[in-house]
Amino acid sequence: MLWTANQVLRRFSTTSHYYQSKLKLALIGQSLFGQEVYTSLRKQGHKVVGVFTVPDKDGKADPLAVAAEKDGTPVFKFPRWRVKGQPIAEVVEAYKSVGAELNVMPFCSQFIPMNVIDHPRHGSIIYHPSILPLHRGASAINWTLIQGDAQAGFSVFWADDGLDTGPLLLQRSCSVEPNDTVDSLYNRFLFPEGIKAMVESVQLIADGKAPRVIQSEEGASYEGIQKKSNAKVNWAQPAEAIHNWIRGHDKVPGAWTVIDGQNVTLYGSSLLSGTPADGQPLEVEGLATPGLVTKTGLVLHGSDGKALLVKSLQFEDGKMIPASKFFSSGESSSVELSPEEQAQAEEIRAIWKGILSNVPAVVDTTDFFKSGAASMDVVRLVEEVKQRCGGVELQTEDVYMASTFQDFVQVFVRRLRGEDQEEELVVDYATQDINNMTVRMPHQCFINGQFEDAENGKTSDTINPADGSLICKVAASSVGDVDRAVAAAKEAFENGPWGRMNPRDRGSMLYRLADLMEEHQEELATIESMDSGAVYTLALKTHVGMSIQTFRYFAGWCDKIQGKTIPINQARPNRNLTFTRREPLGVCAIVIPWNYPLMMLAWKSAACLAAGNTLVLKPAQVTPLTALKFAELTVKAGIPKGVINIVPGSGGLVGQRLSDHPDIRKLGFTGSTPIGKHIMQSCALSNLKKVSLELGGKSPLIIFSDCDMDKAVRMGMSSVYFNKGENCIAAGRLFVEESIHDEYITRVVEEIKKMKIGDPLDRSTDHGPQNHKAHLDKLVEYCEVGVKEGATLVCGGRQVDRPGFFMEPTVFTGVEDHMFIAKEESFGPVMVVSKFKQGDVDGVLARANDTEFGLASGVFTQDISKAMYVSEKLDAGTVFINTYNKTDVASPFGGFKQSGFGKDLGEDALSEYLRTKAVTVEY
């Protein structure tokens, strides 16, 4: 979906080279990085004559091998290239047989003999995650952090017989942030920019422009891969050095220390500024000042008196806990009662005794429900306490949350003192007078029911695409912010009222939230239009309107989630009962795109909340404002704090941390296929968290000559230009039967000329701006590639000559199956049209299905038999017949193949956020 456009277009950012010299390449390496380099090089027109990678592991091929095998590229899986230091003759001969002109080694863990390295006429180039000559070796990126370097980066160098000592071809660098980790550097810079750099390097070689800069020996170093035994923390250092040591060893092998006589590994370090929060002292071996277990983690001090915060601890048995929970079993929350309060406690004891007449005496540990009380008794208790104890306001939920006498008295006393009153929500609004109203927009992180700045104070700009102006600065969440949000969500699920709430009460809260969204729909639609460029009328009806419908639909599901009883076959006498329970998963993460910011939030979070989970949501970095306004409305709706958390920020930092976090049990993502693959890998490696993915699309729309032409023109245009083409299910390619092809195109162009392009807040506007400038530039580039490939540009293809990020509605015809624009998603207002032979139903179906994507599809014909046949054969998660874009909250939505898996909307969506437990009872 959204990320597909970015990733695909990014890969041909070197379009100026598109028709220059090309090479025959051998790719030697592995991993997702190798796969992306391979795919990008082929898209640039280079011929990969052979892929040399590692053997399958546990029956699973490396991602590079998977991509190459799918394309029919020769793949060789050698376990080794040499034995006892000597090249294996058969392996070398197999390599030489492909006839490569250049070896490209994007990520290679094997030792490659020099007679292979030097064999091609252009030799070999290698990617290395360091600004050579600094930090040579396999763990270079770790040492960049361990040694506190201000700059990180990578090098592409010519291979020689030394250890990362060959001449340099190309280098790129980025700054290292104070709390960067290996993962954040990799995802923000080393991975995406490394792919582009490898492609650029190959093209420089092909064009005869590649430099060979001899590496200096000055500053050259080599640090080996750390062993666990060497990773113990030395506390006799400044806090920053300790922090660097911990983050540099994060994941592997893990920096450790000794606590209570056992080795404990430390993860998730960040530097602290200011005074640490109150907490409980913890003795750490070798640390002069005891650590401090606080609500946010374990505070540790360096030799300079400065502090760092560790988020997670792992014990020798492999168990990992939040550092804030180290003393959780010993925590006490009781308050001491005054004589007056003690007297009221005795009054409450008498009320309990009056209700629980079967109990000889009400003592501190007496449990209201275990003593036989029912729901009517709960109401009686609450009302009697109100009547006889000074009118203290209690809720029935208070009894369920504090079911023992001593706990109930504690709740009463806190309520009497006013200690449990909800804090007033403080919002630092950004305001704008626009669209005949004043819109008030939260712009901070929303964590545990409060708006607050990012931990490190960083912000990012959110831009109005209609004119390029700054709307406001929005908090850019750090890893620490994400960890605090997850901790709040976990606490809300495990110990807060949400996890114990009656499902019908939970549904009432979601209904109330939907009502508030409706009350604020004009403000939400205005913010959505400003932030995403959506035409206001569409934002009001679809972006906001469908969001409200979604919450109302799932609010109705809260008390209808059911298990079932199952007959089982056991030896006689069969006195067994087996039943299933549908339970929430726990803390869920949701990552949404920029094309429908509020609607995508609703599609995922409504089902998540209805199922009883808590959530941490990352909106797209360029469109965070409606998500933050939504957060404000959740407080007004009475959603308990910690249930919903919003952490704006970058995907490489915030999204990666959500993927990696051990306390998150499910991640729902909408975005590109490459990013989806990476998220799935991270989720698997972290804690096997459940994943649902709605990914890229290239949805076919088949228009037969027996269609209703007026409707086919109208709906065909909507299939492409709806929401200015920034639509995950947009028809990426239209197949029009040849007898009506020319008439169809003529009528489409006539209708395009009538479209009004302009201010999205103008009620008469048909077509608004693209979401952001980088996307607009890529759309223009996409059209240029289409022209260069030989497609006919009928109209459009350019930026509109006015302020803002406006793209002309575009039509291409004569698009052949092999062309880039026939295969890749534009994610913009570009109609890609191919004709097909009269009556060739199976032929056009084969062409329509010849894609790795399968999100949506459509067919226009008045022949019902043909329509049903085509709908059966189309390989996509959604098929539209004589309509398009008609989604409904009750109908499941999701893709096939590399468009992802899992469903949003409908009853099916609930299953994405539930687990099934089987219980068998013998009686």
81 is in an annotated binding site: no
Quick check: 35 and 65 in contact, CB under 8 A? no
Q: How far apart are CA 830 and CA 725, in angstroms?
A: 7
Quick check: 507 and 558 in contact, CB under 8 A? yes
| Residue whose tokens read 């698009």 | 815
Q: How far apart are CA 255 and CA 234, in angstroms?
A: 10
828 is in an annotated binding site: no
Q: How far apart are CA 333 and CA 814, in angstroms?
A: 73
Structure tokens at 264: 């404990």
360 is in an annotated binding site: no
| Residue whose tokens read 């109203």 | 437
Sequential DSSP letters for 540-555: IIIIIHHHHHHHHHHH
Query: Residue 419 catalytic?
Result: no
653 is in an annotated binding site: yes
711 is in an annotated binding site: no
- Catalytic residue, candidates 101, 491, 694, 808: 694
Q: How far apart are CA 6 and CA 652, in angstroms?
A: 14
Chain centroid offset of residue 796 CA: 33
652 is in an annotated binding site: yes
57: buried, middle or exposed (CB in 10 Å: 19+, 13-18, 0-12)? Answer: exposed
825 is in an annotated binding site: yes
Query: Residue 193 catalytic?
Result: no
Q: How far apart are CA 589 and CA 493, in angstroms?
A: 13
Residue type, 876: A
671 is in an annotated binding site: yes
Q: In what order do the strands lie in the sheet with 47-53?
A: 75-77, 47-53, 24-28, 102-105, 124-128, 151-158, 168-175
- Catalytic residue, candidates 108, 558, 707, 728: 728
638 is in an annotated binding site: no
Q: How far apart are CA 584 and CA 828, in angstroms?
A: 37
Please report which residue ranges of 503-587 form alpha helices under DSSP H. 503-519, 521-532, 536-538, 545-555
44 is in an annotated binding site: no
610 is in an annotated binding site: no
Beta carbons within 8 Å of 449's beta carbon, 6+ residues apart = 423, 425, 488, 635, 640, 641, 642
Which regions of 553-689 does DSSP assign to beta strands (E)? 565-566, 576-584, 587-591, 614-618, 644-646, 666-670
570 is in an annotated binding site: no
642 is in an annotated binding site: no
556 is in an annotated binding site: no
577 is in an annotated binding site: no
327 is in an annotated binding site: no
Q: What is the CB neighbour count within 10 angstroms for residue 109?
A: 10
Helix (H) or strand (E) holding 268: strand 262-271
Structure tokens at 616: 């941490």
DSSP character at residue 57: B
164 is in an annotated binding site: yes
Closest CA to 638 of 494, 515, 485: 515
428 is in an annotated binding site: no
Closest CA to 427 of 439, 419, 415, 417: 439
Return the C-alpha torsion angle 131, 136, 142, 148, nearest 10: -60
Pairing of strands 576-584, 565-566: antiparallel
256 is in an annotated binding site: no
866 is in an annotated binding site: no
The answer, yes or no, to whether the previous bond of 133 is cis (omega within 30 of 0) is: yes
Q: Which residues pair with 831 in a beta bridge?
A: 811
Dihedral of CA 196/198/199/201: which sign? positive
315 is in an annotated binding site: no
778 is in an annotated binding site: yes
- Catalytic residue, candidates 128, 243, 301, 767: 128
Chain centroid offset of residue 239 CA: 32
Please report which residue ranges of 663-708 form alpha helices under DSSP H. 673-687
Query: Residue 728 catalytic?
Result: yes
721: buried, middle or exposed (CB in 10 Å: 19+, 13-18, 0-12)? Answer: buried
Chain centroid offset of residue 232 CA: 33
622 is in an annotated binding site: no
Q: How far apart are CA 676 and CA 51, in angstroms?
A: 24
Residue list for the binding site for (6R)-10-formyltetrahydrofolate:
110-112, 164
> From the annotation, which residues make up the binding site?
110-112, 164, 592-594, 618-621, 651-656, 671-672, 778, 825-827
Known binding-site residues for NADP(+) equal: 592-594, 618-621, 651-656, 671-672, 778, 825-827
Catalytic residues: 128, 694, 728
